Structure 1
Amino acid sequence: MLLLNAEDFGKYLRKLRSDRGLTLDQLAAMVELSKGYLSNIENGRRGIPSPELLGKLSEPLGVEYEELMIQAGYWNNRFTDEDRVLFEDIYQHYWEINNKIINLVKVIADDDGIFPDYLHKDIFKVFGMWLPLSEGNHPAYPFEEMYYYDFLNKSDDELLDEYSESTVKEVTERFNNIYNYSTIKKGIIEYKGHKKDREDFLNELIELMDKHGLTVKVNEDSNLPLQIELDQILDSSSATSVRYKGKLLGPDDRARILGMLSVLFDEKSH
């Protein structure tokens, strides 16, 4: 019997969690979602979870992914085993893309999940008006529409000529409330659009990081070299994300640091 009703499916998930002896806090930590979000799913207030989320829930809840997909109404008994394997591969691919996007977003945000001001417009170009984001209890669309038409394509000088400094600051704060690591992570998981694929988000995010010299460079050798040139790390063309006290250092920051180091060591050489 298929449990197509969101409330019934939520009760089904709650029973699975209870049978495993897990609290909401414990399950939330395992699947990297908030306790409140999972509570809303169990109460039927978030609708049927996406196949990607069901894939994350299957192991901690001790139930086969196939069973969750059938109970959620995504699959039914008319599908062959080959069909189900194909669908599972597709949804697994979606989840892998999600994880890549989420990990890159985490890299470019600070310890509080906030993006540097100089990245705001590029972040908006990637995610703006696509993800199901909100501003408090209200949809984010009114702000997004205003940001798109009034802020996105104007330089900082043009904005200050047109708006007061306090207004620009307020818009920046509202942007941080809507666009941050936590909200984008949640938005990517919930994204159900088709006009823009998850691969598009990922590729545009990689382009953003390349543009600002922030692309993560994965070093397969976990041991640090005995010697390392600081200018190779700070060079704006470096493909390594660099932080100081939680702040992401952009190309201008790196250039200033290299300039100060150059002056410092030139003076010491005399």
Structure 2
Amino acid sequence: MGKDISELFGQVVEHRRKQRGLSIHQLAREVDLSPSYVLRLEQGERKAPSLKVAFDLAYFLSISLNELKAFVNAKYEEPKQVGLEELLLFKDNVQFCGMSLDSEMRSKTLDLLKLIVTSMNQERMNEYELKEIKESVEDLRSCAKKALKI
């Protein structure tokens, strides 16, 4: 029987954590998880993490989207309802306005959507949040221009 998602992901997390010289407690504190959760995840005793936890760990440990996708694809089964995160991360044939989105564009689109959704929970955005959204839009725009060779 092959390894499941949690065991594969846990092995990558443990390897990257050790590469950075971090203890389980330090990593847990950085990504706002309990040390026991991180330990169980690394040991494959924890079920596959939520997308938020996986993204937070991947971001902090510099695990690329392609790496994350590679070991998750081994066991990923498409759910009946597909979340936008899953669509942008796990589907290769995503199009928007007639344009195919490569992995970089899908990642930048997801980043922009996260910023927008996060800011929607507030009554008013501060200047820093507006600046982040503008920068994210510019990143996405330049990525689209590069893809279209404009």
> Normalising by the residue count of structure 1, what TM-score does the alignment of the two structures yield?
0.31
Under a length normalisation based on structure 2, what TM-score does the superposition of the two structures give?
Answer: 0.50
Over alpha carbons, which structure has the higher Rg? 1
